[in-house]
Structures are given as C-alpha cells and as structure tokens.
Amino acid sequence: MLGALIYLDHAAATPLDEKVLAAMQPYFSDAFFNPSSPYAAAIEVRKKYESAKATLAATFGAKADEVVITAGATESINLAIHSSSGHIVTSSIEHHAVLAAAAEHDYTLVQPTEKGSITPDAVRAALRPDTTLVSIQLANNELGTIQPLRDIAEMIRDERAKRAEVGNNTPLLLHSDASQGFGHIDVHVARLGVDLLTLNAGKMYGPKAVGLLWAKPGVLLKAQIVGGGQERGLRSGTENVAGVIGFAKAASLADSHRRTEAERLSGLRDTLQAALVEAFPEAIVSGSTKKRLPNFLHISFPGIDGERLVFMLETKGICVATGSACAANKGTRSHVLTAIGLAPEVADGSLRITLGRLTTAGQIDRAIQEISSAVSAEQSRMNLS
Amino acid sequence: MSGGVDSSLTAALLKEQGHEVVGVYMKNWTQDLPGMRCPWAEDLADAKRVAVQLGIDFRVFDFETEYRDKVVQYMIDEYKRGHTPNPDIMCNQEVKFTLFLETALEQGADAIATGHYAATKEGKLLQAADTNKDQTYFLYRVSGKALASTLFPLGEYTKPEVRAMAEERGLYTAGKKDSQGICFVGQIGIREFLSQYVETKPGDIVDIQSEKIVGKHDGAIFYTLGQRHGLDVGGGLPYYVVSKDMDKNIVYVTTNLNDESLWQTQLTLASVHWINDAPNENQTYQVRIRHRAPLVDCTVRGNTITLSEAQRAVTPGQSAVMYDGAICLGGGIVV
C-alpha cells in the first residue's frame, strides 16, 4: 500500500484500513441516500447509520444517542469547549485546537511536569469556584505521554462534592481529547471518569475529517453549527454516512487489535529507542517512558537540526516528524517542548517517531540505520562528534 | 536561497567551485492576502531541503520589518502619488544588497551570491548571457562596492540551461515553477494588494481630447500610463491612459495612439544612481525604460536623458536604466 516507504508518523495520520474502505464503499454510490429522506431506501441507510453509531459508541462504553458526529477532532473540541459558560482549566501541552478554543474564554493553563505529565494536584490548584470545564488530553500528541486521567477525574469528583457542601452548584465537567491513544490504550468513558470525550477517525485507520464528541447524559451542549437539526440539533448538516460507517469499523478493529498491537509496537519502539540511545549516548528521550503510548518515541539529538534530519530521511524513503521548530509550523518552537522545559538546542534537534499497524521489524532495522547515518553525517558536518 | 530553482543551482555551483557555502533564506514577507496564501513556509522548506541535499549550512535572516518599511511602504507611497513604482529594484537596493550583504559579512562571509541573471567584473555590473532573462534592470541601484562582494554564478547561463543543470544534479527544486511578478505579491494582482493599504474611490475616465467622461474607474492609482487593457470603457477604438490627476481622481485617456503626450524623447530622472562613474555627456549610450524593453540610443546631461527616437508610455515611477554596451551604468527614476 505504501510501497517502499517507511512511514513512521502515525500520530499525524494513519492510512485507511482496507476493511474500513470496503465497509464505506457502498455508501458513496449505491446507498447514497440522505438518511432524512422518507422512502424505504433512505430509511435503510438511516438504520445502517444509527447502527454504526451504536457500534462506534460501544467501543468506548457509550450509547449512540450520547454521541455527536463531527467533521473531526478539532470540531469536537470546539463544541465541547464552547459549550462551557464559565472558567476553563486546561494544560499548556494540549493540541492547538484546545488551546485556541480555550483562549476565547476565561481560562487557566496548567503546566506539565518535566516528564510531560499533568498532575491532579496541578489541575486542582488551577480550579476556581466558577470553573465549569477541565480539558486534559488522554495522551500528548508530541511526546505520547499518557495523562493520569482517572486520577484527575477522581479529584474532580471530590471537588464537586466540596462544591455541593458549600452550596456552589456550578457544574464542573471533565473533557478529554482522546484522539491520540484510542487503539493503543483502554478508552472507556466510565472507567476514565470523563464527562466529555473527543475521538478522531483519522487517527485510528479510519477516514479523515470524521470525529465525535461524546457527552454524558445530562451534559448540555451548545450547537456551534446550526441548520437542519441533525445529530439531535447539536450538529446540523446531512449525516456523513460513509464516514460514520468507516469510523465504526475502524474503532471496532482498533479495539479488537489493541492488546496484541500495543505489545508488538512497544517492542519495536523499545528496539528503536535502545539502538539510537546506544549509538548516540547524548540523545535525550523526552516525556515519561513509563506512561507512554506504545507507538511513540520522542528523541532529541542536541545541537542537530531535527528538520534537516527529516529532509535527509525523506530522501531515503523514511517519513518522520520533527519534534519541534520546522518550516511547516512556521518556524515556531513546539509549545509542548517549551512547556516541559527542554532547552532550545535540544528541542530543535528532536524527532517524533510514531509507529503503526504497517510497521515491521525490518522497517525498524532500516530506520535505525538511516537515522543513525543521518545523525552521524550532521554531527561530522558540524564537527560535533 | 529563495526555494526556487535559480538560487538552488547557484548554491550547487558555488559548492562545486570549491567555496564554503552557507545557504540563507531571507524572510521578507509572510502575510496571506485575500485570495492568495503566502507560500513562504513551503519556500523556506524547499530552500532548506536543497541546502540539506548539498550538505551546506543553512540560516534564516528575518528582514520582515525592514522589508515592510523600506520596500512595501515605498511602493504604497509611490502608487498614492500616481506613480508606478518597481518594488523589485527597491528590494535589491535596500534589502538584498544592503541588509543581506551587511548581515552576511558580519556573520563571517567573504562574499554573497544570488541567483540573479547578471554578471560582475571588478565592481562593474554586466548584462547576463541570456539577454531574455537579464536582470540588470532590477540591479542598477546597487553600489559598486556591494557588487565587488557579490557573485552571480548564473550570469553565463540561459534559463533552460539552469533548469537542465538543476535536473542533472537532482536538485529538489529543479521542476519548481518560477515565481511571478513582484516577489511578495506573487500570483495576486497588484490591485488586490493595494486595496489592503490604500483607500480608493471610483472616479471618472475622461477623454483628453473631447474632455467627455467616457467611463468609470475604481481608483486612479490602479492605472498605468500607456495602459490599454482593463479600462471599463465600452465600444469603438481602444483607449490608452495618457495621464492621471491624483487630486481630482481622474484618469485621462485617448484613442489616439500617436497622442503626443504618450510619446517622449526626453526623460527627467530623480534619485539618479551611478554604479561606478557618472557617464560622459558627449557619448552615446543605451537606455531601457522598463524591464525587457528594447535598448534605445541616448545621451545624458545631468539628470536628463535624450532619446534617439521617441518612446511610448514612459511611466513615472519606473526606472530608466543606462548601458554602455554590456555594462549597466545605473540610472534613475522617471519623473
């Protein structure tokens, strides 16, 4: 499918699974009907749509009518955040969608530990009596650090109880952007203890530009896109039937492969990390290595320009992301790396390598060779070694 | 290195000639404009890709503020005065051969090089071998001193040769389309750009002979002397812009292509700049009144140029650039 390409940027995008594509295919042409139309053929499509939504919701312990389908995680995040009417607490290492949406409200940013973790205590310290929403990602999209969401949820339950005691009936909700993580770790709304959850099909081998926001029953959302009243009036626009069919299939597949795939990928990732750290003892692996998504490696080669490595590797057919400043993000240093206190010369020398379903042991061996020779070449060019 | 094929090959040739080369991207303009996304980030990435390919160091010089102050503001002011300025000339004078040169020298460079189609010899500016691509018109305001520290490795090649050489070397940008027109305005019309900065009012288009209103324009600044197209005037013979009254916001036109106000044999120049020595008053030289215009014999006395034959639509704000054969002497801005 990807030919000779060694694709190691699964945190950016995942290829559509062939089974997902097959499931979606009929809904582009044969079963193209508008699910709101009154005739039998359209009603059949409506049924398929609703049933896919139920399948999708079940993969994370929810029900179809608690889910709002959106055009991606960014929209889901906007819907969650703009539904809040009070003060918002989030972290400085969230995705730009969260940071930009929160910035339109009264908000406070919680700083991470140097391992990229957001502690319940740090979140608690930022809460105010008028805080209505806390938004913390499930896993960081640059480091792969898994956040202690259950502990944060527990802390929030305590805070709610304290509010009740003092007669403060301001609601306090917990939203999590779980775009990174689904298919790698357990994502179940009750076990996580969240009130709102964002997911993205495009990060789990499903179609791009399809996402969802789950809201616990009783949580009120404010529609951001109005019109024909689809999705219970919370997101108007003709249903993306093929997208949701694909999303449901992708989520089911990701869920069923989760344990074996997590084990396989963490093994490959550990091999990659060990080899690079052995070859370059000065290399720095960022983020927690204990609480980390199994497919993530964020590694810095101090003094080297990560973007140069990316350009060298692309000529060898290897796709990786820069961990920080690059022309693509307009030359600004990563807000995540700045927040965890990485020195600029370390941050600028980083790569984000994210493995996925198509990654093989052979590919990792090639990647080790090519990354090592690129780093060595740069070091000798700059007389660093 | 702009991320285009010319500066990419320039870097490659310098490296092959044995120089120690540092690639520099000048960040001059990053703003999107209505209907046009500024591709600076892609251009920067392309420039850097080529630097990586060549194994040379790469830096970014940020001149956004200076570019806005010295080039964009100049351009806007000139248009407001009813002139048709040439921002590329100003960019070379103020940014590339002043700021960039100075910064490069400060950072330890012995010389700078650009992908211009031109040549230098002992501080003199010479036309490129590819007369169709020759860019000396845009370089006439550069000082002889700056040229003494400048290399133009592409001067001896034609554009097709440059592309072929870039392809031979497998340069990442070998197949990249040339950017067009004013560097930062790119594909967008100057009209859309100016509309962002200058308030324009519709006004009358008046026939200079009959003094009758023959149409409406959407802002006198948008019109250039000699311009035929884009006039919202219906029917009959084509009209040409002969003059503009910026205070009254009137554009004067004529159907008479031989209207004497369209033809000039004498040019008065402002901001005269000679690269080396001033030309002799009793010698015949050649002059070019816009990029790619044919060279016309002339003599010069002070800031007045006398043409051997009348030229149509000599546009205030554009430059008259003088040559002594292949040598570009300098010139001035048409008043």
Q: What single DSSP character describes residue A66?
A: G
Percent of chain A whose predicted confidence (pLDDT) is above 70: 97
Which A residues in the span 279-318 are in contact with B, Cβ-Cβ below 8 Å?
Answer: 307-308, 311-312, 315
The single residue listed with the structure tokens 């002969």 is B242
Q: Which residues of B touch A307 (CB under 8 A)?
A: 45, 48
Contact B58 A308 (CB under 8 A): yes
Q: Hey, what domains does chain A have and what are their CATH numbers?
A: 6-13+258-381 (3.90.1150.10), 18-254 (3.40.640.10)
Query: Across the interface, do B44 and A331 touch by the CB < 8 Å criterion?
Result: yes
> pLDDT-based confidence at A4, cuts 50/70/90?
confident
pLDDT at position B193:
81
**pLDDT tier for residue A307 given thresholds of 50, 70 and 90:** very high
Task: Give one word for A231, left, alpha or beta, with left for phi > 0 and alpha for psi -120 to 50.
Answer: left
Indicate whether B254 pLDDT > 50.
Answer: yes
**% pLDDT > 90, chain A:** 95
Please determine, for residue B226, whether its predicted confidence score (pLDDT) is greater than 90.
no
Weakest-pLDDT range from A239-243, B126-130, B212-216: B212-216
How far away is chain A from the Cα of B139, in angstroms, using its nearest Cα?
A: 30
Q: Of A254, A232, A183, A207, give the one whose Cα is nearest residue A73.
A: A207
**pLDDT tens per residue, range A270-282:** 999 999 999 999 9
Alpha-carbon Rg for chain B, nearest whole angstrom, is 21
pLDDT digits (tens, 9 = 90+) for A196-232: 999 999 999 999 999 999 999 999 999 999 999 999 9
Instruction: Return the pLDDT at A333.
Output: 84
Highest mean pLDDT among A68-77, A374-383, B237-246: A68-77
- Given A326, A339, A340, A347, the catalytic residue: A326
pLDDT digits (tens, 9 = 90+) for A41-90: 999 999 999 999 999 999 999 999 999 999 999 999 999 999 999 999 99
Residues A319-374: tens digit of each pLDDT = 999 976 554 555 678 999 999 999 999 999 999 999 999 999 999 999 999 999 99
Kindly report the average pLDDT of chain A as a whole number.
95
CATH architecture entry for B5-117+146-168 = 3-Layer(aba) Sandwich (3.40)
- Measure in Å the smallest separation between the Cα of A160 and chain B Cα atoms: 46
* pLDDT above 50 (res B187): no
Q: Where are the beta strands (DSSP E) in A113-237?
A: 131-135, 173-177, 196-200, 211-215
Taking the CB of residue B258, how many other CB atoms lie within 10 A of it?
A: 9
Examine the pLDDT at A385 and tell me if it is beyond 60.
Answer: no
Which contacts qualify for A361-369: CB closer than 8 Å, 24 or more apart? Answer: A361/A268, A361/A271, A363/A6, A363/A8, A364/A268, A364/A271, A364/A272, A366/A6, A366/A318, A367/A6, A367/A8, A367/A272, A367/A318, A367/A320, A368/A271, A368/A272, A368/A275, A368/A276, A368/A279
Helix, strand, or coil here: A246? helix
Between B265 and B232, the higher pLDDT residue? B265
Q: Which CATH architecture has domain B262-334?
A: Beta Barrel (2.40)
Question: What would the mean pLDDT of A135-161 be, rounded to a whole number?
Answer: 97
**By CA distance, what is B41's nearest residue in A?**
A327
Average pLDDT on B99-116 reads 98
Instruction: Note the pLDDT of residue B188.
Output: 55
Q: Label residue B234 by pLDDT band (50, 70, 90).
A: low
Mutation choice for B interface testing from A305, A311, A370 by most B CBs within 10 A:
A311
A326 carries an active-site annotation: yes
**Does A383 have pLDDT greater than 90?**
no
Q: How far is B45 from chain A (nearest CA, A)?
A: 6
> What are the boundaries of each domain within chain B?
5-117+146-168, 200-254, 262-334
| Closest in A327, A330, A381 to B55, CB measured | A381
**Count of CB pairs separated by less than 8 Å, A with B:** 26
Q: What is the mean pLDDT of chain B?
A: 90
Scanning B115-223, the segments in alpha helix (DSSP H) are 144-148, 159-168, 190-197
Report the distance separating Cα A266 and Cα A262, nearest Å: 6
According to CATH, the topology of domain B200-254 is: SH3 type barrels. (2.30.30)
Q: Do A342 and A286 touch, CB atoms closer than 8 A?
A: yes
Mean pLDDT of B78-90: 88
Q: How confident is the model at residue B181 (pLDDT cuts 50, 70, 90)?
A: very low
**Cβ pair A137, A339 in contact under 8 A:** no
Is the pLDDT higher at B35 or at A124? Answer: A124
Are the beta carbons of A327 and B53 separated by less than 8 Å?
Answer: no
Nearest to B48 among A307, A377, A381 (CB): A307
How far apart are alpha carbons A234 and A224 in whole angstroms?
7
Neighbours of B52 (CB within 10 A): 24
